[in-house]
Amino acid sequence: MSSYQANGYWYGEGRSVPEAVDLLNLMRRYREAERRMRAATRGSMGMNETDMSALRFLLAEHRKGVTPRQRDFAEELGISNASVSVLIDRLCRDGYAERVVHPADRRSVGIVPTDYSDTEVRGTLHRMHEQMMDAVGTLSEDERVAAAKFLEAMIRSVEIDDEPSRPSAGKGVVREGALPSR
């Protein structure tokens, strides 16, 4: 399997220019490495997959000035409202989030992250994010164009036969102006 060498960049059978199969192998390796990384973060925080996704979503929305409702979590995560209810219970119990009354609709519960959760996540995932930004920063303009072309081709490959195309898909997120709630 793929005679890769850390510093020399050799591929397939002694090739120094990657073929399609080599790029696919690199994609697979990246996916594995990222999965391990996220798993480690999750493990160190004692959280499961969906709770972690929920927390990341919560922090992202909060940074945009939006206070999501439980319903938004259900849509984002693709799980039922009932499951979200229990999920938020867990996040609150462990000090990552708090329930607040939603100013615009008293049926709804607004969810806000605690300061604790922000610093906790920043210490791990944000660090990875910055490293990735730095890494890409070393590429030339031509290389970035090529990388983008490659990624776009890959995306088209895996989504083409599901539906015609839906690039910046959905995000039916209710922008819900106002209420920074803080």
Partner DNA sequence: GAATATCTTTAGACAGGCTAACTATTAGCT
Partner DNA sequence: AGCTAATAGTTAGCCTGTCTAAAGATATTC
Task: List the structure tokens of 39.
Answer: 């798993």
- Return the bridge partners of 112, or none: 98
State how far the Cα of 118 lies from the Cα of 121, in Å rounded to an integer: 5
List 29's β-bridge partners, or say none. Answer: none
Does 85 help bind DNA (rule: CB under 7 A)? yes
Neighbouring residues of 26: CB distance < 8 A, sequence distance ≥ 6: 18
The smaller minimum CB distance to DNA, of residues 11 and 67, is found at 67
Q: If binding is defined by CB under 8 A, does position 19 make contact with its own copies?
A: yes
- CA dihedral (173, 181, 52, 154) in degrees, to 10, reads 30
Using CB under 7 A, which of the segments 13-21, 36-44, 45-53, 116-124 binds DNA?
45-53
Q: Site for DNA (CB under 7 A): which residue of 49, 130, 143, 152?
A: 49
Would you count residue 56 as binding DNA (CB under 7 A)?
Answer: no
Which does residue 95 touch among its own copies, DNA, none (CB within 5 to 8 A, set by kind)? none
Per-residue contact track with its own copies, 34 to 73, x per CB under 8 A? xxxx-xx-xx--xxx-------------------------
3-state secondary structure of 113: strand
Closest separation in Å from C-beta 84 to its own copies: 18
